[in-house]
Structure 1
Amino acid sequence: MLELNILAVQNADVLRALATPAGRRTIPSVSALAALIGRDHSNLSKTLKGMEGAGLLHAEPIANGLTPDGLLQLEAINRAETAEGGEGLPDGLLALRHDQILPDPDNARQDWTSDEAKDELDALRADIVKNGLLQNLVVRPMAEDDLQDATITVVTPAGELTLPRYRLVAGERRWRAIGEAINDGDWEAEEPILTRLLDRDAKETRFAAIAENLLRRKLNPIEKAKGFEQLAELGFENKLIAERLGYTPEHVQQHRRFLKLDEADQQRMTLPRDDPKHLSVRDARQKLTAKDNAPKPIDLTPAEWLAAVETIFAAYEMTEYGNLWNEIVVAPDASASPEGARLQALDVLDFSGIKQFGSRLGRFVVKRGYGAPLGVDWCNPPLPAGLHASESRIAALREAQAKVFGAEAPKWDDEAPVLGTPWLADPGELTAEGSALVEAARVASEQRAKEDQDRAAANAARDAVWAEARQRHLRLLAAAQERPEAGQPDEVVSIASDLDRPLPWQALPSGIIAAANGKTVKDRLNHYAAPSEQELAINQMIVVAANAAGGVLTPTPAQADAPSEEEFVEAITAVAADRRPDLTEEQAAELAAQILASFLDDNGVEFGEDGFDWTHEGAVILTDEHLAAAGDTPTGDDGTDDAGADQDEAA
């Protein structure tokens, strides 16, 4: 058995105060420890030195706590006080080693190996290592049928020590997370774990009281759920609660799940059934199912959470025409920061490269990601409730900064918001690339301004020339109205040249009047149809009159090439050979000559006369008509006229 150290017994309050990392974090100095346990500061400093020399405390005990011997002494003191009716730790707490605690095999949760369970456990392990165990485990003494595991023997520097073991009632995830930390070397196996001990007699007394309340009163579903939850907190499983109260385990579990509803929905379940706002059990189940299927909130670090809050705030309040989707200028390395990279990976924020144009030219910006979740509950912790409301947005930002920084929150000048995320608060100077873009834009802007100025000057000069030409034209027209003869030809030529439409003009078959330099004097009246004979005649009259007034000859439009009788006969020959594969080349040529001669004779015309089609298409039509009349047109397998199909294709 371990012999109690008199120094440890005399200073049990010191051992208890320094036993856990969470406890030590609340004690910044020896003075604070003295105030906590009611000791004199100078005497306590000497006591700590003595306990350190006795091997009970590590060096710098305020930071490093108890040695393994110190922990064993504290455990022995606790057991001795419990056995002798002492008070023990406050609120019935025990300081137990991890291996003194055994999980309950009847725990409803059995999934500890799935990827999701492992991820949750790893996150909890990291939190406990960083912040300590913030919520105590709950244990009970070993049951009478469970005594084979009632003790454990551990090896200490002072020898072997037999310690009692306890069965876990609540907190198996935390217990397993501490076990993972021990395996990783982040938590000492001897490090005490504060636990709350449930006394069996007290448990049974409490069970009887709650059970009587559950069975004798007509309770609404929420009241019943809270009763079941109280029994579960005492360490009773759903199955045992159901057996002892006459329910099914499913009934107990279902009612306990109702406590996961929002407070408003729980309140609705307490209303009378005839109340329009009453929430039925069936509807409550559906809400819980939808809640279970909803995406789980994303855990954010304080820096990530604040960056998300301040980006939304800046988009609304620190940009022109505030809008949730507005871009905010940030520092060049914003996307590489830990919080920026994580939020971009989650599609909460979207960082752009350097802006190539616009009012933020040369800058780096961030805006809301296109896949960003809506509302404020998509993350853990939730975003401030008033962040999206203009009247409460300032207060929401202050609240968020106080939550993250505490007393170190940014100080606002004249109530003007100051952001706490570094890459939002100070975008910094332009990078070399950004400065080059801005300079290039300035040069391009000046160049465009000069080009616009030159263009305006050229247009003004051209307008002046045209205005002068117009005045000369008006004088010429006035002179022409006073005498029947035309003005001087050189005057007409000069006006046409001033208008950049030099004589002679020419009327084209397309309906356009063109000047000598190829520029259009008059466009077609109708762009979607061939010019009419009337339009062509008017155009020709305009051209002749203008050219005559200028004393120049009117050019004769180029005539289309005259049709070739030889080429027309060759086309008929080719079609005939195609339609009549049985013909030789000589026979096809003879047939072509006969077809043309017959056509000319029947119509009383000469080859090339106007009104007839002497093109290749005309040869196809003429040949097919002749063969069809003679009954020589071959047909396809389906009885259709192959020649007709070819004719359509030719057309």
Structure 2
Amino acid sequence: MTASLNLLAVQNAAVLRALNERPEGGWASNAALANHLKRDASNLSKTLNKLEDEGLAAFNPLTYGLTPAGVAQLAMIDRAEGGVGDEPGLSGAGQDHAEGGVIFLTHVQIFPDHANARRDWDSDEAKDELGALRQDILQNGLLQNLVVRADDFGGVIKVETDEGTPVPTYVLVGGERRWRAIGEAITDGDWEVDTPIPCRLLDTDDLGHRLAALAENLQRRNLNPIEKANAFEGLAKAGLSNKEIADRISATAEHIQQHRRFLQLDDTDQQRMTLSRDDPRHLSVREARQKLAKKDDGPPAIELEPLARLAWIELTHAALHKGEYPNLWNKVPVAVGAADTVEGQRLAEIGAVDFTSDRERHGALIGRFAAKRGYDANKIVLTQPIHSASDEVEEHLRAEQVAALGDAAPVWAGDKPCYATPWLADIGEMDAEGQAIIDAHAAERAETDRLYAERQRQSEARARLWADARARHVRLLEAAQTAPTAGEPAEVIAIATDIDRPFPWSALPNGFIVAANGTTVKQPAYYGAPSDQELAINQMIVVAANTAAGLATPVVAAPAEEDSCDLDEEAFVAAIADALRIDAALEQSGADETANRLMAEYLEDNGIAFGDEGFGWDRDAAQLIAEAHLNPEGDLDADEDEVAA
């Protein structure tokens, strides 16, 4: 999994930058660094110790510097901010941020916009897209910041730190798919709850928010007709005429009116308009127009039997109160066999409730059966709709229970509601089948944690190895200041051997410096053919290093013009791995594993075997495969097409 932003790194970005941009010779002491940062030396010392413990910085008597992990964190922070800026921090109480600035928030501080035009989160296509996006974020990081605006939700929703300190809340303007993908990763344990998420802050009123979100939606990805219709309807309710909406998005007033009329279709037809065009159930715009042309008052909305109606109202109430945040579409745990009850069958028949056919495999409801409101839920006639978590909802729920059950209505414990529907009121203890699912998931998590701990142990061992080699080489550099040679050749050879870069080293015509065992010592600074300057510097480095070791420097001749420079399969994969290591966050084992995967995908995507004619099998071809992975510009639009409207 690609490393995500580290909370300690975000909070101390200014310190990381100072360590990364240290003067020649390094910072002489804590005091010198503290003076540069205008920080208290004692507090800074504690910060530096934390950075070292976290593996973000390494210190020795002469130099304070960043580890590869620290460099990677700083690069992610700079990318999130769109360039180097002031030290960021998690948005907490009392912080002010300029409009358009970047702030860092945790997932629980961000809430979806319930006026979002994009509604399709449950179709197979939407779930597949969300799963792919989740995997991409875990592998490559968040490629584009979320867009948010401040919203205290009238004080109804409050978020606090573990210490009980209130923190501000925000509503999404753009990036709900990314936000949901991160939420799934948190549920599955692949993303830490307190990992900072970079967000661009907008300061806009409700109308401006909707216009900004709609404009971004239309630019990023085509909305389906119903999503457009909901967006236009929301703008109309905010006070804009069809002409004014049309002017804002470069359309005609007729286009706006036509889409708003699609909301007069029944829920089933509206859902069909959201399906992909190759789906046989898809309802085209032309067919929708024909339906509207023939439409009369239509059949009355569905009236339910009192107990079925009460079950639906109680499930709606549970959705608003039992999820991580108030949402009408939250899943609710239900008792085994809920779908087989009279009320359950009736609600499922009319599409008002969707019952899961199997137990939940992940998340807070793991091991349980669940239910949620269906697409056709709003066909049910309510005297007062339940759309938010408020005191009015409690009053309405109580009134419905009394209306349906009279004196048999459940007795509430104070102001705490309780349900009359059996499969909501008592979901039962976890049974053996559900517990088996929980235990299997826990075992998977334990194995994942074990593998992660082992990778951490290996990474720490490598870091200690390199730190020791660096300290030993510092002693040689000190000796070289007063003597013609830095030290005994045997010591120079030992250091290189310990870090798996044995002498003699060679300078290759492609700009790489490699050790005697073929391991990369230094790779080209840029893609493409190396310059004469870079080749000359490489040759100087190789000669100086080999001479210090008391060894002759091998001469590597440029390949003959007629030689294709083709590599065997093992060397070709190794060349991909070498090219991938330009990413400081990618460890050696990670580069090797990624290279093998990219090679397999390359062969499968092109339907070829290694060595087939018409395809390059040299280092340049390996470089192109690695570059396509490191800079997936072709996938960026697809990955970042999700924004709320």
- Which TM-score band applies after superposition, normalised by the shorter structure? 0.3 to 0.5
Task: Give the alignment's TM-score, normalised by structure 1.
Answer: 0.39
Which of the two has higher C-alpha Rg?
1
Task: Give the alignment's TM-score, normalised by structure 2.
Answer: 0.39
Higher relative contact order (CA closer than 8 Å, sequence separation 6+): 2
